[in-house]
Amino acid sequence: MIKAVRGTRDLLPPETALWNFVESAVRDVFRAYNFQEIRTPIFESTELFARGVGEETDIVAKEMYTWEDRGRADSDKGQSLTLRPEATAGIVRAYIEHKLGDRGLNKLYCIGPMFRRERPQKGRYRQFYQIDAEIIGPPSAGSESPARDAEVLEMLATLLDRLGITGWTLELNSVGCPNDRVAFNEALRKALDPVKDKMCADCQRRAVTNPLRVFDCKVPEDQPIIDALPRISQFLDEGCRKHFEAVQEILTKVGIPFSLNDRLVRGLDYYTRTAFEFTHGALGAQNAILGGGRYDGLSEALGGPAAPGIGFAIGEDRLVMSLQESASAAGVVKKPDLYIAPLGAGMNAEAARLARELRRHDLVADLGDETFRLKKSFEAATKAGAKYILIVGENEVKTDAFALKNLATGDQISVPRADLPRRIQE
C-alpha cells in the first residue's frame, strides 16, 4: 500500500472545517485592515532564497527542496529551482517585478503551502501551511513608521481573539539595523570564541558563519552559555532605539499586552528592527504560533528599490492545533440540517428536486437513495449527524406534504412543501 510521504499528511473532514473556519476569520480580519490577497508561485529561482533568506541560514543550507530544471533541449543549461520555504521573499520579488511601489503602501497577504526538509515534530511538517501578510512600500508612503509595526501586531491580537485563542503571549525585541549588528556580531564572536567548543555542532558552525543564529538554539545544555552572551539591546543606535520605543508606546495605548525578550531573534537574514513572536502554551516546548518582523533592506538585496516593510507568517498547522485544544473549536463543524430519504422507485428524482429547493434556503441537506430500506436511511442519517430526516415517498409526493422527524426527540410531523424551510430553520 502506498502511503503519504513522511512529513506530509492528508487533511480530512471534519478537521478541514476548522481550517476553513480559520481562513475565513483571517480574510475577514485582514479585510478590516485593508489587506489584499496576493498569490505567488510555489516554486521560485533558488537564487531568490539564497539572496533573500541568507545562504548561512539553516533553511537555505539544509532544508530547501531544490532541483535543476532541464532546458528545452538536453544541451541547454537548466535553472536551479526551489519549492518555496517561506513566502516573504516571493512577495517582495513580485513587488519589485510588478512595480507595486508605484501604488504607494501595499498591504498584502497570502495563504498556502510551504516546503522545508526538516525533522517532523508536533505541528511541524515538510509540507506545511502558512498565512503570511506584509506591509511594504516606498519610504515616502510611510512604510518605515513604527505605526505600521504596531498596526500589524494589533491586527494579529485581534485575529487570535476572534478565533477564540486565549492565553497567548506577545514577545518583542529589536534586532537593530545592519550597522548595529556588525558591532553586535563582533561582540558575539569574541564572547563565543572561548566557549563554542562546549556547544552543539550547529552552534559551533553558527559561531563562525552567523553568530546571531546561536540564539535560535534549543539544546538545553547550551542555554547557560547563551544566557551569558551579550544582547542586541546593548548595541542599538539612537534611531532604532526610538523606533522600538514608539512601537511599545502605541501598543500600550491600544491595550495590547507584550513582554520584552532580548534573546528573541528571527531565523532569516533579512530582518531588521522589530522582531516578534506570539506563543501559546498548548503547543508545548515549541510553542510559537506565529512570528515576524521588519525587513527594511530586503528589496535592495533582491535588486529592487528602497522598500521598507514589516510582515509575519502564521504556521497554520500549529494555529489549528491550538484551536483544537481550546473550547473555541466547538460548533465549527457544520452538520447536515436534514437527511432526505427517498422511498421507492422513482423517488430519487423527487428527493433531488426537494433538496435543491431547500438548499436555496441555506439549509445543509444530505441525500439517500431510493434502494435503501427505511431502517438503513435512519442509520445513514444518524451517522451523518443530521438533525432531521425527511421522508419522500409516493404518498408524500401526491399530497405535497412530507414526514419530517426530529432525530433527537423522535417527534414526527407532516409538513407542506412550502413550509419546510421555515419549520426546519425554526
d(CA 95, CA 350): 54
Is the peptide bond between 14 and the residue preceding it cis, with omega within 30 degrees of 0? yes
Instruction: Express each pLDDT in 132-173 by its tens digit.
Output: 999 999 999 999 999 999 999 999 999 999 998 888 899 999
Residue carrying C-alpha cell 508536533: 122
CB 65 within 8 A of CB 83: yes
> What mean pLDDT do residues 310-327 have?
83
Percent of the chain past pLDDT 90, that is, above it, reads 59
* pLDDT confidence of residue 137: 96
* pLDDT confidence of residue 267: 58
CATH number assigned to the domain with residue range 338-425, chosen from the 4 options 3.30.720.210, 3.30.1370.60, 3.40.50.800, 2.40.40.20: 3.40.50.800
Those residues whose C-beta lies under 8 Å from the C-beta of residue 301, and which sit 6 or more positions away, are 51, 52, 270
CATH number assigned to the domain with residue range 15-177+237-329, chosen from the 4 options 1.10.150.120, 3.90.1150.60, 3.30.930.10, 3.30.70.980: 3.30.930.10
Q: Residue 124: is its pLDDT beyond 70?
A: yes
Average pLDDT, the chain: 88
Q: Mean pLDDT lowest for which of 26-35, 177-186, 250-259, 376-385?
A: 177-186
Residue carrying C-alpha cell 537564487: 47
Domain ranges (residues) in the chain: 15-177+237-329, 338-425
